[in-house]
DNA sequence: TTGATTTGCTTAACATGTTAAATAAAATGA
DNA sequence: TCATTTTATTTAACATGTTAAGCAAATCAA
């Protein structure tokens, strides 16, 4: 999702017939989350593009780098990718030698996924740039604000899962 | 994106070789935003599905309901949809008589979009359910926390746009 | 033990996301 | 005025999102 969104700071709703009491989209949580995410990802996407990977592929590789070998279900859950998407992505990532597949000896239904040396090298390449971008965002937004935001995001996520 | 995500509260990273200093995905802002959004949308999606619309269609209709007639560029920007996606969506939404198109007399390049009576009726149907779901989320998370979260999201969005 | 159910993954079909290129109309400038 | 550039939208191609259905392996229950 690359929306190249302009600020929209001055725009105001025009309709007077607001008989439906829907919150203005500006203060709608789903839309605010999407906008915020887009504004953040806009900073990361050009860097990922330079390394010939997209957002989802980077998440999958990163999760396997962080957690080690996982089965497809756990990987999809943690990388926030749906099963059918993961199935397709794995075909690509196997061909490009970033991910290796093996079947679980104890449970033939399960596929175990792990990253290759090539993907580990990619992580080492991307990490410093990623950290730099993150720090730029954090230093402008403020480290305290960033912590507060992350805490609230974690909290509402946990809250909604109940 | 309907991920049906489980809490993942107790899971911990396994890899010791964390020589790359990437932040744990749990505290990664892009991922935290995505997770939070998924947890929120999971509450809304079944309701939208009952009304036979998806998330993006609802955003487009809602934006036109809020701002009135807009050209395609403004609509795409505000509804957080890319141009090519909007082009395709409009074909569907015109066929279903939710949206009407006319070309701008002053500038033949522009297409002006507005919602029909049918879409206004849909908004009236969906709004109370939407508001109810929103209030459920807000009452569990806390209205103060919700305000803080929305403020921080608006702030970081504005900050990143600079 | 075996028929029924559940689980893990894949396939299918259609929608949107994403980037690049194409097209047409409008604005610009010599 | 007319060639050039910019702007608004669409088309194309491929990737992921989403839901439903399918399939094989594992688990359950009688």
In the prediction, which pLDDT does A22 show? 81
For the CA atoms of A15, B73, B158, B133, what is the dihedral angle to 10 degrees? 50
Q: Is the dihedral of CA A5, A8, A11, A13 positive or negative?
A: positive
Please report, rounded to a whole number, the percentage of residues in chain B having pLDDT higher than 90: 81
Contact state of A29 with B157 under an 8 Å Cβ cutoff: no
Is A103 in contact with B117 (CB distance < 8 Å)? no
Residues in B touching A31 (Cβ below 8 Å): 59, 80
Token code pair at residue B104:
């701008």
Whether the predicted pLDDT of A10 surpasses 60: no
pLDDT at B73 over 60: yes
Whether the per-residue pLDDT at A9 is higher than 80: the answer is no
Is pLDDT of B146 > 60?
Answer: yes
Spatial distance between the Cα atoms of B159 and B161, rounded to a whole number of angstroms: 5
Given a cut of 60, is residue B35 above it in pLDDT?
Answer: yes
CA-nearest of B151, B132, B154, B126 to B59 is B126
B5/A contact by beta carbon, under 8 A: yes
Report pLDDT digits (tens) over A95-143.
999 999 999 999 999 999 999 999 999 999 999 999 999 999 999 999 9
Min Cα–Cα distance to chain A from B155, Å? 8
Q: Is A100 helix (H, G, I), strand (E, B) or coil?
A: strand
Report the predicted TM-score, pTM, of the whole model to 2 decimal places. 0.86
Residue B68 in 3-state DSSP? coil
CA distance B146 to A104: 44
Beta pairing partners, B111: B103
* Pairs of CB atoms within 8 A across A/B: 221
Two tokens at A130?
A: 């990623």
Banded pLDDT at B11 (limits 50, 70, 90): low
Q: What is the pLDDT of residue A24?
A: 87
Q: Is the dihedral of CA B134, B139, B141, B142 positive or negative?
A: positive
Judge whether residue B9 has pLDDT over 50: no
Report percent pLDDT > 70 for chain B.
88
Looking at chain A from residue 62 to 101, which residues have their Cβ under 8 Å from any Cβ of chain B? 62-63, 65-68, 77-78, 80-82
| Distance (Å, whole) CA A121 – CA A96 | 13
Give the residue ranges with Cβ < 7 A from strand C.
A 1-3, 41, 45, 49, 55, 71-73, 83-84, 86-88, 90, 107, 109-111; B 54, 56-57, 80-85, 88-89, 92, 107-109
Please indicate if any CB of chain A lies within 8 Å of the CB of B141: yes
List CB contacts of A68: < 8 A, sequence separation 6 or more: A114, B14, B15
């Amino acid at each position: 999702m690359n929306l190249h969104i302009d600020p929209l700071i001055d725009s105001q709703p025009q309709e007077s017939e607001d008989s439906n009491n829907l919150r203005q989209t500006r203060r709608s949580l789903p839309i605010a989350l999407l906008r915020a995410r887009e504004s953040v990802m806009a900073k990361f996407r050009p860097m990922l593009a330079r390394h010939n990977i997209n957002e989802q592929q980077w998440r999958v590789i990163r999760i396997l780098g962080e957690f080690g070998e996982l089965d497809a279900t756990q990987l999809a859950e943690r990388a926030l990718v749906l099963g059918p998407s993961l199935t397709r992505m794995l075909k690509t990532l196997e061909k490009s030698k970033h991910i290796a597949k093996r079947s679980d000896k104890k449970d033939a239904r399960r596929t175990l996924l792990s990253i290759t040396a090539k993907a580990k090298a990619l992580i080492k390449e991307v990490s410093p740039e990623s950290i730099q971008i993150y720090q730029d965002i954090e230093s402008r937004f403020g480290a305290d604000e960033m912590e507060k935001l992350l805490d609230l995001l974690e909290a509402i996520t946990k809250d909604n899962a109940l």
